[in-house]
Chain A
Amino acid sequence: MEKETRVLDEVTIRFAGDSGDGMQLTGGQFTNTSAAMGNDLSTLPDYPAEIRAPRDTTYGVSGFQIHFGATEINTPGDHCDVLVAMNAASLKVNLRSLIDGGIIIVNTDGFADKNLKLAGYTQSPLSDGSLSKYQVFQVDITKLTNLALADLQLSQKIVDKTKNFFALGMMYWMFNRTLDNTIQWIKDKFKEKPELIEANTRVMKAGWNYAETTDIFAVKYEVKPAPLAPGKYRNISGNQATALGFVTAAEKAKLDLFLGSYPITPASDILHELSMFKNYGVKTFQAEDEIAGITSAIGASFGGSLAITTTSGPGVALKTEAIGLAVMVELPLIIVNVQRGGPSTGLPTKTEQADLLQAVYGRNGEAPVPVIAAMTPSDCFNTAVESSRIALKYMTPVMMLTDGYLANGSEPWLLPSVNDIPEIAPKFRTDPDGYMPYRRDEITLSREWAIPGTPGLEHRIGGLEKQDVTGNVNYEPENHDRMIRLRAEKIERIANDIPLAMVEGDEKGDLLVVGWGGTYGTIKTAVERKRKEGKSVSHLHLKYIHPLQKNVGEILYNFKYILVPEINMGQLIKILRSKFLVPAIGLNKVMGLPYRSNDIELKIDEILGGKQ
């Protein structure tokens, strides 16, 4: 039978199953293939904090959402058009993200009485009519997988592990994707185990053939390549981009990179990534705790390394005293906070933006620290390079904020050319003549970096208040006041050294939506949609939180209303209100999830009313 092909602009698929079902891998393969076929895309994994929660329960569900298209894609999608559910629990958890009329592909073997009971269903949703508003495709993936491998004499455990490739094969058929990329990946991955190459490839092809030949699927879809800028791309997650950014910054600065870190979700992947870059001279130190993570980095910085520490909110809380020390001794250091749901242990695998005030203000004493936030997964690369530049040039700790959504989400990244990334030129003091540890550069106010091993520059630094210029311990009232102002002024002057803020949309109008960090794609999508409707709305996204760019106030004053959506109870808004005395309106939803563009669109409508 000849099947119909429909052309779509964009599609969102959610792969969901038990945390042992390999859904992250399935989603990752679909992503890489779609990227290689030229789609723009954005992805978001959603997995439980438990490594292996009890099978078939709702809290063991692992999901992976990919939004891909023939147009520019800025978010992983508000809702999904297609839901692949490997068991009853994954259907139960994810049904709310599916659009009305959306497609559900279920593995019927995952809907046996036992599965239903564990998922909390009293009757099967496949037969009680509750899914009538969706297009449901019921496939016994487990049985079909077993049949496909019947002659291979593999253990049942291995057979079970391949069934995600059946689902992947069906989705490749449905969206006209090539199998070649994944076949090659399987070959590379299982180089040593030919039986697994055969099994996984065969099951994926079986899934594809099943969809092609049976009558269940009548329609397939085509999503054409997106008009992406020409060049070489790779798919990259925020944590990968962060790691690459720091290796790049160290190379550009001709310094060794030192990472002191303690494992913490969702930041650990940066440690994993960097520990593989030994041939770049990267030294990673898995410390005994968060405090040793940052203090070892401070030691390395004293010795002339580009030193960083990576963590999440609870870790920043533990590092706070040491950040103050770095402020006092004026050594370069970057603290990366991959924000997660709080307070306390909170929601380790979920995203949030509630550490902004901690980053800007959360230390004892007057301890100003530059704060820079990444906006998209690939922007973590630029943010890491920029944080390093500022830390080295201004001899200061810098707080770099990302979040769980950016860290694990991914998008295609147009690879920068090595030569386009500016050199970072830190200078070590070598001349012993007249050296004063706290003499400052007239423009940047930064002190000189004099590293141990340099003859004639022996000096002592520490956390006690310093005398201006000499750096000797000093408790005089006037000196303390002067030093506090100098440290603050140094950080404020960074505003002279960063690009001006750019409004997306008109520079004057009724409403300005101001965001920061990982909400960039969502706000951009919402604002663009509303602009298409003719609404007078623009978007300002702040990467530099402290200090703010010099023209931020000016921009704010050009709008009648200011809306600040944040995944917190209103933190940036407090800074904007106190600094610029503007009556900004907050949009605050703290669910451990990224915003949906629709949430922001509704708020825009509410503020602008029926006005066109």
Chain B
Amino acid sequence: MSTLVQETVSHDLVSKVKYTAKDFSSDQDVRWCPGCGDYSILAQVQRTMPDLNIPKEKVVFISGIGCSSRFPYYMETYGFHSIHGRATAIASGLKIARPDLSVWVVTGDGDGLSIGGNHMIHLLRRNVDLNVLLFNNQIYGLTKGQYSPTSEFGKVTKSTPYGSVDMPFNPASLALGSGGTFVARSMDRDPKHLQGIVKRAAEHKGTSFVEIYQNCNVFNDGAFFQFTEKETKPDSVVFLEHGKPLVFGKENDKGIKLDGFSPVVVSLKDGTHSVNDLLVHNEKDSTLAFILANMTYNHELPRPFGIFLSIDRPRYEDEIEKQIDSAISKRGKGSLEKLLNSGDTWVIQ
């Protein structure tokens, strides 16, 4: 860190102030459509921030373009509402330059997976210590209703009146395939779960990728109701918890078992299987993470939510700092005098 930056910024790692959610609410009017799932996500993030004990001035929210990307305006932290798809790249530059900051990326399925797809996969393989909150509503909201890279095959939208012929991405599988070290899924309508996941993402060292199912009540209302509403949720959702068997169902009467490499649903009440037969989640197991993420578009199986993977791997910015430290210890801190006199020189008298 340059001397000028050092003299300017605070060096507190832990906040001296005990914040409340309100401290993270900016003075700007929130301008999402009434009933949008974004409101809940904003509230859960604001509620979680005080628990992180990070000095507020060290927190930066960076977004691209789309409904979700208005997010930074509503957070009383540093914020940057940038251009379409590039939030991940801007955030990478900021974090590499300033490892002392807690940097968050807020993006959507269009911003993060379509126009910004390239930056996203490279961020994940580099494992820069950023927290990515990807609001997935399976539609383009800000441009008023075109299909997105997560819209289901056959989706009828303004730009696909005869149905989409694109296969959708499964964001969790994409993140795992890109070398993500923290991959999770949550939803706007389960505040407690979302708060827990956001907190874990913040604590993870390396890129945290959190896909959040978010309802767009104007252009894609009810896309996730099967997983979010209390009538259908218990039988359609399985929550992943480290060290615990995969049990689900209204009466906790069903479970997931591995048949070879394939997850299958078994009954816990017909006497054929007990909890001991079930798959036990291990968030450190990357092979398992792939299997679980692949349950996503299998309609015979419940949709998994929770943390697919959380493993440790060196962070890009730490490795850069190490190289700098090593170069300084070997060659000494560079000086302009040395710099300008480097190379083959000669003197004219």
Contacts and interface: CB of A to CB of B under 8 A. Distances in A.
Contacts of A291: 86, 89, 119
A254 B97 contact: no
B97 A258 contact: yes
A36 B344 contact: yes
A472 B57 contact: no
A299 B89 contact: yes
Contacts of A298: 82, 90, 93
A287 to B, nearest CB: 7
Contact-residue bracket for chain A: 35 or more
A12 interface: no
Contacts of B342: 234
Contact of B340 (A225, A248, A283): A248
Contacts of A277: 334, 339
A281 interface: yes
Contact of B78 (A228, A281, A452): A452
A279 B336 contact: no
A461 interface: yes
Contacts of A325: 82-83
B337 A278 contact: no
Given A36-B346, A453-B5, A248 B336 contact: yes
Interface centre among A228, A296, A455 (most CB of B within 10 A): A296
B10 A453 contact: yes
A329 interface: yes
Contacts of B3: 254
Interface in A94-117: none
B98 A297 contact: no
Given A248-B340, A303-B101, A292 B333 contact: no
Interface centre among B62, B78, B101, B333 (most CB of A within 10 A): B78
Contact of A454 (B9, B26, B72, B347): B9
A455 B16 CA distance: 12
B60 A254 contact: no
Nearest to B347: A232
Interface string A180-197: 010000000000000000
Contacts of A231: 347-348
B148 interface: no
Interface residues of B, number: 70
A321 interface: yes
A244 B57 contact: no
Nearest to A276: B327
Contacts of B58: 452-453
A463 B81 contact: yes
B80 A302 contact: yes
A255 interface: yes
Interface in B208-265: none
A289 interface: yes
Given A304-B5, A322-B86, A458-B57, A283 B97 contact: yes
A295 B337 contact: no
A277 B122 CA distance: 24
B86 A254 contact: no
Contact of A304 (B8, B55, B337): B8
A415 B344 CA distance: 12
B94 interface: yes
A463 B90 CA distance: 13
A280 to B, nearest CB: 3
Interface string A24-40: 00000000100110100
B4 A292 contact: no
B77 interface: yes
B272 interface: no
Given A295-B93, A460-B81, A464-B81, A426 B349 contact: no
B2 A304 contact: yes
A534 interface: no
B333 A279 contact: yes
A296 B95 CA distance: 9
A472 B74 CA distance: 12
A299 B344 contact: no
Interface in B102-133: 118-119, 122
B81 A287 contact: no
A463 B57 CA distance: 22
A260 B93 CA distance: 8
B328 interface: yes
A407 interface: no
B57 A302 contact: no
Interface in A245-284: 247-248, 250-256, 258, 260, 277-281, 283
Given A418-B336, A451-B5, A459 B79 contact: yes
A547 to B, nearest CB: 26
Contacts of B62: 299
B283 interface: no
B240 to A, nearest CB: 30
Contacts of B100: 453
B341 A292 contact: no
A23 interface: no
A295 B3 CA distance: 24
Interface in A214-236: 225, 228-236
A230 B349 CA distance: 5
Nearest to B55: A455
B44 interface: no
Contact of B90 (A302, A304, A415, A421): A302
A421 B340 CA distance: 12
Interface in B27-49: 28
Contacts of A240: 343
26 contacts: A35-B344, A233-B345, A233-B346, A234-B344, A234-B346, A254-B4, A256-B2, A260-B93, A278-B324, A279-B330, A279-B332, A279-B333, A299-B92, A303-B98, A307-B97, A324-B83, A325-B82, A452-B9, A453-B98, A455-B10, A460-B26, A460-B75, A460-B78, A461-B80, A461-B81, A473-B73
Interface of A: 32, 35-36, 38, 181, 225, 228-236, 240, 244, 247-248, 250-256, 258, 260, 277-281, 283, 285, 287-289, 291-292, 295-300, 302-305, 307, 321-322, 324-325, 329, 415-416, 418, 421, 426, 428, 430, 451-464, 472-473
A-B interface, 7 closest residue pairs, ranked by CB to CB distance from nearest: A453-B9, A462-B81, A299-B93, A296-B93, A280-B334, A460-B79, A278-B327
Given A452-B94, A463-B82, 20 more contacts: A228-B348, A234-B344, A248-B336, A278-B327, A279-B324, A283-B97, A288-B89, A292-B89, A295-B83, A296-B92, A299-B80, A299-B91, A303-B94, A303-B97, A304-B4, A304-B5, A307-B97, A460-B26, A460-B79, A462-B73
